[in-house]
Structure 1
Amino acid sequence: MKDREYQVCTNCVMDTTDSKIVFDEKGMCDHCNNFYTKIKPNWNPDEIGEKQLKEIVDKIKKDGKGKKYDCIIGLSGGVDSSYLIYMAKEKWGLRPLAFCADTGWNLNVANENIARIVKGLDIDLYTDIINWEQMKDLQLSYFKSQVPYQDTPQDHAIFASVYNYAAKNGFKYVITGGNFSTECVREPNEWVHVNDIRQIKDIHKKFGKVSLKGFPLCGMFKYRLYYKYIKGMNIVKPLDLIPYYKEDAIKELHDRFGWERYKNKHFENTFTRFYEGYWLLKKFGYDKRKAHFSSLILTGQLKRDEAVEILKQPPYPENEAIQDMEFVASKLGITKVEFEKMMAGENKTYQDYKSSLTLINSAIKIAQSVGMEKRNFR
């Protein structure tokens, strides 16, 4: 697959940097075909979704009667979570607890956006400060492992933190900002391996030094089965049930709260900005903007020609990326030279470490068969 001729989809901007991508006779990729055949026909951000949303909201209110909060919503300062919690409180009349997992990497714009939203909506905020020594050790372990998906430690800590807190404190509804509108094209597995507890532990065992006891972990089976069927916790994605357009949401948030935009998806975080905007692209040749832009193209929010032009430029200036590299290296307790040696090391993939991929793939196939998962997994 590494020797295949370069090809880019004629409909979106996904290309053969996704080694498993498949094109039809018209040059359209399987991500696009999956959207048109599986997602779009079953996606109802219209009167059907409006009716479903009302039923969900009514149930949340009924189940939460007499409680201080009727749901919990993770708030990162990004557009999806900010718009979601605004809609939940101001438009749907819910009583959410805002939850923030502080991994130590948020940019000021993210923290300021969180503060604006919380103050503007007059809601409570609970912040879970992740143990920095554990966070640092796990992130450094991932860099040493040479895999592309460096955001796994932070990403996992964030979602595990909110799910574990919700289950422990009796929340029946975790409302998330996941949506088809901006995320219908999933990044290929080789770019971003799924949150896999077994792999996290294996990489840490090989390269880590600090015990992860108490670090937020939550495997797929724990939150999809134990938390759902034993603890009675439901994960709800209401943005799929309303018309959700990124630029409209940004304007509304700015007008209502003074919310500030940032350059790219996930760029409200220093580590993620560096990982997605430099490490992943320079070391592996993977540009996550291709998946992000392709989602916007398919949902009519970005023209393909515009995306092609944007992709000709790096995600952010090289001098800023080098400054971020120095900051990331220093925060992780190593020198820039040591970091550059890691970048120059032999590239690895999820296949070089233990994983639960067989079980996860089986679970995904079951979820796809019952309509719970519609995105393109291979």
Structure 2
Amino acid sequence: MTRPYEICTKCVMDTSDPDIVFDEQGVCNHCHTHDLQIKRKVFSGEEGEKKLKEIVDRIKDKNKNNDYDCVIGVSGGVDSTYVAYKVKQLGLRPLAVHLDNGWDSELAIKNVENICRKLEIDLHTIVLDWNEFRDLQLAFLKASTPDSEIPSDHAIVVSMLRTAKMINVDNILTGYNVKTETHLPAEWSQGHFDWGYIKNIHKKFGKVKLKTFPHLNLANFLFPPYSKKFINILDYIDFSKKDAMPILEKEIGWRYYGGKHYESIYTRWFQGYWLPTKFGYDKRRSHLSSLICAGEISRDSALEELKKSTYPEDLQKEDTAYVLKKFDLTQEQLDSILNAPRKSYWDYAPYGRVYRTLLYRVLRKLYRAVKHRG
């Protein structure tokens, strides 16, 4: 039976998230999670300044004899760019890592190069093998799960971890922040660190052996080696996207892409065309909802934004033609994938299934006990 349509009374998340839950006031679970995470993980004012200073001092002291003291990821988007801007203000010596997966827009490339030049940050670009990555990304499209961005996200995390190890530093400073990124439903996007999920999809739909693709393993998934390496420094400052953007434009000549993660042509096409068409998911809802809860926009303005097309029709057609060319697909082949039955993360035997087992829960307790004693 089809669920009656309902939309949150506080944000703009709705029943396009099949797992959404509303309280008696009509406020959704994502808003409650956002408020809880803000209390637990976000530090502002003097408290934030104090905690951030402690983090920065620790990083500087531990790496005083190294050429670099931390790693940052740079995509050219507002969050990662502001992290680069901020770490230089804090007197840190970062090495910037950029993952080239073959989909960067010209503006993205210019932004990344400009950021590093203006801020005098060394740039380490990791270029994925296109033949392998094309095959993996196409496999995800054929798998009909709602996030073909998982391979890129996975490769970015592993690439930053490997780079940190290469230059002998422990900390990776990221642009993730609770204020603006807590409304994304699990059904829309999960499995970012799950190599079992990625591997099984590729095994079923891929053709090219993945010899060089950077990835984690089952042990990494169950007992993450990166949990203390990543620091979300934007959670320690009074970060605001609307305030950050004009600063970046003025100080380093940064330019906006027109949408979250639109520095990638594929992301723009996938979020703007593929997700709404095949799954009925409009990721703008999650992005706008987080901004509403962060106090950056009003709910009314978000609703007005959602009335607009996900992005211009002529650009959609241009991007679709580019995607077809990059994947070496015909329109008929793409339409066949588009019309295939929808699947989810759980349809492909992911490592995530282990979380549901008693053995895992026992091993996890033992792991934490040993770690605590150490």
**Structure 1 SS opposite 2:67:** coil
User: What is residue 229 of structure 2 aligned with on the other side?
Assistant: 234
Aligned residues: 361
Residue type at the aligned position of 1:71: C
Q: How does 1:235-250 map to 2 (within 5 A)?
A: 235-250=230-245
Partners of 1:210 and 1:290 in 2: CA distance: 36
Partners of 2:125 and 2:82 in 1: CA distance: 19
How far residue 223 of structure 1 moved from its aligned partner, in angstroms, is: 7.4
Residue type at the aligned position of 1:341: S
How far residue 219 of structure 1 moved from its aligned partner, in angstroms, is: 4.9
Q: How does 1:12-31 map to 2 (within 5 A)?
A: 12-31=11-30
Partners of 2:129 and 2:64 in 1: CA distance: 34
User: What is residue 109 of structure 2 aligned with on the other side?
Assistant: 111
Matched, 1:189 2:210: no
Partners of 1:3 and 1:153 in 2: CA distance: 32
User: What is residue 328 of structure 1 aligned with on the other side?
Assistant: 323
How far residue 224 of structure 1 moved from its aligned partner, in angstroms, is: 8.2
RMSD: 2.2
Match of 2:135 among 130, 134, 137: 137
How far residue 335 of structure 1 moved from its aligned partner, in angstroms, is: 1.6
Structure 2 length-normalised TM: 0.91
User: What is residue 153 of structure 2 aligned with on the other side?
Assistant: 155
Which moved further from structure 2: 115-124 or 54-63?
115-124
1:340–1:297 Cα change, 3 Å: same
Structure 1 length-normalised TM: 0.90
User: What is residue 84 of structure 2 aligned with on the other side?
Assistant: 85
How far residue 337 of structure 1 moved from its aligned partner, in angstroms, is: 2.2
1:360–1:302 Cα change, 3 Å: farther
Q: How does 1:92-107 map to 2 (within 5 A)?
A: 92-107=90-105
User: What is residue 304 of structure 1 aligned with on the other side?
Assistant: 299
Q: How does 1:1-378 map to 2 (within 5 A)?
A: 3-40=2-39, 42-89=41-88, 91-185=89-183, 187-195=184-192, 196-219=194-217, 222=220, 225=223, 227-228=225-226, 234-359=229-354
Report % sequence identity.
Answer: 42
Partners of 1:75 and 1:181 in 2: CA distance: 20
Residue type at the aligned position of 1:80: D
1:226–1:354 Cα change, 3 Å: closer
Whether the 8 Å CA contact 2:71–2:163 is kept in 1: the answer is no
Partners of 1:219 and 1:13 in 2: CA distance: 37
Query: For 1:2-30, what per-residue CA distance to the aligned partner results, in whole angstroms no more than 9, with x for missing partners?
Result: 61100000000000111111111111111
- 5+ residue gaps, structure 1, are 371-378
Partners of 2:188 and 2:287 in 1: CA distance: 13
How far residue 42 of structure 1 moved from its aligned partner, in angstroms, is: 4.8
How far residue 228 of structure 1 moved from its aligned partner, in angstroms, is: 4.8
Whether the 8 Å CA contact 2:143–2:205 is kept in 1: the answer is yes
How far residue 333 of structure 1 moved from its aligned partner, in angstroms, is: 1.6
How far residue 166 of structure 1 moved from its aligned partner, in angstroms, is: 1.7
Query: For 1:104-151, what per-residue CA distance to the aligned partner results, in whole angstroms no more than 9, with x for missing partners?
Result: 101111111111111101111010111101110001111111111111
Partners of 2:269 and 2:291 in 1: CA distance: 22
Query: For 1:206-244, what per-residue CA distance to the aligned partner results, in whole angstroms no more than 9, with x for missing partners?
Result: 111111122111258527846359xxx721111000000
Partners of 1:250 and 1:59 in 2: CA distance: 29
Whether the 8 Å CA contact 1:163–1:223 is kept in 2: the answer is no
Residue type at the aligned position of 1:103: N
